[in-house]
Amino acid sequence: MRFDPGATSHEFARPLPMKRAPPQAEGAAVLFLHGIGGAAKVWDPQIASFTRAGYRPIAIDLPGYGARPPVETMDFEELAADIEDSVAQLELDRPVLVGHSFGGMIAQTTLRRRPDGYQALILVATSPAFGDPTGDLQRRFVAARLGLLDAGKAMPELAEEIIAGIMGPAPDTEGRALAVQAMQRMAAKIPGAHYVCLPGVGHLPNLEAPRVFDAAILDFLRDAACRDRAEMKRNA
């Protein structure tokens, strides 16, 4: 897979993406988008807890991940269109979007394309952009990760070192500090945003501390629902 910021639009080979939604869930839909190297299954803890909380949680595999076929190139507009296709196929009415890392960047693009199409947006360990307009940073990012595989390394060999660098309790402190600053700046510029920093976790908070992570999102959604009801009463 190659991320190409200048790719022309094309159709992904897209059977209905794998969904990990429990049957009989009837609450508001919450659509979870994973990051680079992830898959729908990374949201398994959230599927269980959000179902118990009365929501309809759905996690999808992005193109080229999990059960989806490989792709040669992708860009954010195409990825957002893929999310829109999934929303339409599942007949979701203004779902909540939860995007982690790369998935958070896709969620931002998706919301920009259809700002009235979603109830709320939860951004997790992400940033407002991937790389730079020239594409140089993106290409270096991908090359650094594919280089090890091209050299004959297998993911099981690389996994322990990779995970140790991005997960708590002692993740890359410099990288974490930069990420925290970026998220704080984003939250300050988003009307109605609520910023939460979880202690002792790295880049995968939904897996490292699922109870605390889920509670933060569920509290935000409850508060947002209360605000919406109050506004409806004022406008009635």
DSSP state of 130: S
Cα–Cα separations (whole angstroms), residue 229 to 53, 232, 235, 236 = 19, 5, 10, 10
pLDDT band at 26 (very low <50, low <70, confident <90, very high): low
DSSP 43: G
Total tally of structural domains belonging to the chain:
1
Q: What is the domain range of residue 77?
A: 2-235
pLDDT at 84: 97
Per-residue pLDDT tens for 74-124?
Answer: 889 999 999 999 999 999 999 999 999 999 999 999 999 999 999 999 999
Residue 134 reports pLDDT greater than 90: no
pTM of the model: 0.84
SS3 51: helix
CATH number at residue 129: 3.40.50.1820
Residue 12: band (very low, low, confident or very high) from pLDDT cuts 50, 70, 90: very low
**For residue 41, is pLDDT > 90?**
yes
CA separation for the pair 132, 137 (Å, rounded): 6
Q: What is the DSSP string of 159-181?
A: HHHHHHHHSSSS--HHHHHHHHH
User: What was the pLDDT predicted at 22?
Assistant: 55
Among 198, 199, 212, smallest CA distance to 45 is for: 212
pLDDT in tens, 152-202: 888 777 777 777 777 766 666 677 788 888 899 999 999 889 999 998 888
Q: Which H or E element spans position 47? A: helix 44-52
For residues 180 and 196, what is the distance between their CA atoms, to the nearest angstrom? Answer: 10
Distance CA 34, CA 179 (A): 17
